[in-house]
């Protein structure tokens, strides 16, 4: 709390000054007394006054676009923005001053409302310790991976007539994910691919779809009988197109899965974790991140290094950068016609609220 801190620091400073000056011989008692006086002054009336002032400053009048009619149209927008910002600044300063005066009885600092904080309540948010959820997860399709019975073996493939960019993307994925193999697909049905992959003991299958010569979707199938997820690729930048990038190595990377809160999110997070082998080589200092923000999953691939005794980490980007959005999750291997869907994004029902997210 700002006022408290300032108060304390003042006191501390004065104390320290006191001590030091005792040693040197000068005592500055004035500061100390002033601080005490200020506290005494705050009577109830003044308190109320200040609080009211505080609230009032929040709803102070601001400029509107009508105030700028004297400017030509092209400059009005900028001027309005500037003025609004200025007003905001002055209001904030006013409030901080009042807060200082109030001292301990200042109202709490306002927290800005973000979309994440205003998110609609979702009953499926996973609690930290939920026995049933844990039991469920201990017995679901990913259990063999998390129990260390299987180690991942990934097959990456694409649509039959894939173009160069898709190839490139698959190649990058192959470099990024250890233990993966890339196959070109020559008019083989997806179902036959799944059967063949099962025979050769693959654990995961990634199929990259493309449209207009650019990859635009990934079908992610976890193999033995696992769920199939279809992600839409929203944006993609290759390694070469990044501003600063480094070369990847073959060490097993660490995986960071951020912000997957709901049951569905948990499922997806476990799916993504299944791609990578269990034991990351910390000496390789490679980290792969899947960060979920408002239903968009951002993929990043970095090399990190700890600096300043482990208080800071420096990141060097390797590998591609892309965003995924989940479109549907199907129970069982890929069977779009006759399969059962665990979750489908139905735009008209689900995208009606801007504060509702599913992952």
* Sites for other proteins among residues 103-132 (CB under 8 A): 114-116, 120-121, 123-124, 130-132
* CA nearest to 239, candidates 300, 287, 292, 194: 300
- Interacting residues with other proteins between 16 and 45 (CB under 8 A): none
Determine, following the binding rule CB under 8 A, whether residue 302 of this chain makes contact with other proteins.
yes
| Site size for other proteins (CB under 8 A) | 82
Q: What part of residues 43-102 is at the interface with other proteins (CB under 8 A)? A: none
Residues 235-294 within binding reach of other proteins (CB under 8 A) = 235, 244-247, 254-258, 260, 263, 266, 269-270, 273, 278-283, 287, 289, 291, 293-294
Smallest distance, other proteins to C-beta of residue 74, A: 24
313 near other proteins, judged by CB under 8 A: yes
Say if CB 36 and CB 30 are below 8 A apart: no
Nearer to other proteins, 73 or 337 (CB): 337
Shortest distance, position 77 Cβ to other proteins, whole Å: 19
If one counts every other C-beta atom within 10 angstroms of the C-beta of residue 115, the result is 11
Q: Which is nearer to other proteins, 14 or 203 (CB)?
A: 203
Considering only residues 13, 22, 26, 306, which one is a binding residue for other proteins as defined by CB under 8 A?
A: 306
296 binds other proteins (CB under 8 A): yes
Q: Does 233 bind other proteins (CB under 8 A)?
A: no
Instruction: Pick the closest to residue 320 from 213, 168, 207 (CA basis).
Output: 168
- In this structure, how many other beta carbons lie within 10 angstroms of the beta carbon of residue 300? 17
Q: Over 199-254, what HEC string results?
A: HCCCCEEEEEEEECCEEEEEEEEECCCCCEEEEEEEEEECHHHCCCCECCCCCCCE
From the list 191, 185, 242, the residue with the least C-alpha distance to 209 is 185
Q: How far is CA 306 from CA 87, 142, 309, 312, in A?
A: 42, 32, 7, 6
- Minimum Å gap between C-beta 312 and other proteins is 7
Asked if 142 interacts with other proteins (CB under 8 A), we say no
CA 344 to the chain's CA centroid? 23
Q: Which of 21/342 has CB closer to other proteins?
A: 342
Residue 206 engages other proteins in binding (rule: CB under 8 A): no
Query: What is the bridge-based pairing of β-strands 321-331 and 296-307?
Result: antiparallel
Decide if 36 contacts 101 (C-beta within 8 A). Answer: no
335 binds other proteins (CB under 8 A): yes
Decide whether 7 or 327 has the Cβ nearer to other proteins: 327
Nearer to other proteins, 87 or 335 (CB): 335
68 vs 357, which CB is nearer to other proteins? 357
State how far the Cα of 67 lies from the Cα of 204, in Å rounded to an integer.
62
Sites for other proteins among residues 164-193 (CB under 8 A):
189-191
- State whether residue 79 is helix, strand or coil: helix
Residue number, 180 or 330, with CB nearest to other proteins? 330
Separation CA 43–CA 261 (nearest Å)? 48
Q: Which residue's CB is nearer to other proteins, number 167 or number 358?
A: 358
CB of 30 to other proteins, least distance (A): 35
Token output for 134: 């844990």
């Amino acid at each position: 709390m700002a006022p408290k801190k300032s108060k304390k620091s003042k006191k501390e400073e004065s104390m320290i000054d006191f001590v030091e000056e005792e040693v040197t011989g000068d005592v500055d008692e004035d500061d100390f007394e002033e601080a005490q006086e200020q506290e005494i002054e705050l009577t109830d009336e003044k308190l109320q006054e200040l609080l009211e002032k505080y609230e009032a400053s929040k709803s102070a009048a601001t400029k509107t676009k009508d105030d700028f009619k004297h400017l030509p149209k092209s400059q009005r927008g900028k001027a309005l923005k500037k003025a609004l910002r200025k007003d905001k600044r002055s209001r904030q300063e006013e409030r901080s001053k009042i807060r200082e005066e109030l001292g301990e009885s200042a109202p709490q600092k306002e927290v800005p409302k973000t979309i994440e904080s205003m998110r609609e309540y979702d009953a499926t948010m996973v609690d930290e310790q939920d026995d049933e959820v844990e039991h469920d997860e201990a017995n679901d399709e990913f259990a063999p991976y998390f129990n260390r019975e299987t180690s991942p073996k990934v097959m990456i493939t694409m649509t039959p007539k894939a173009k160069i960019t898709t190839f490139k993307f698959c190649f990058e994925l192959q470099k990024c994910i250890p233990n993966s193999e890339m196959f070109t697909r020559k008019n083989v049905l997806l179902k036959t691919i799944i059967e063949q992959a099962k025979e050769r003991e693959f654990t995961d299958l990634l199929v990259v779809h493309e449209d207009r010569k650019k990859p635009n979707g990934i079908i992610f199938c976890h193999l033995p009988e696992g769920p199939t997820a279809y992600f839409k690729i929203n944006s993609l930048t290759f390694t070469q197109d990044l501003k600063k990038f480094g070369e990847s190595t073959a060490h097993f990377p660490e995986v960071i899965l951020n912000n997957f809160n709901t049951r569905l999110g948990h499922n997806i997070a476990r799916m993504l974790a299944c791609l990578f082998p269990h034991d990351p080589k910390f000496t390789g200092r490679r980290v792969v991140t899947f960060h979920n923000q408002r239903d968009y999953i951002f993929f990043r691939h970095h090399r990190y290094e700890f600096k300043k005794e482990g208080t800071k980490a420096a990141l060097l980007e390797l590998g591609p950068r892309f965003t995924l959005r989940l479109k549907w999750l199907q129970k069982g291997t890929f069977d779009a016609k006759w399969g059962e869907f665990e979750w489908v994004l139905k735009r008209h029902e689900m995208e009606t609220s801007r504060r509702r997210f599913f992952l």
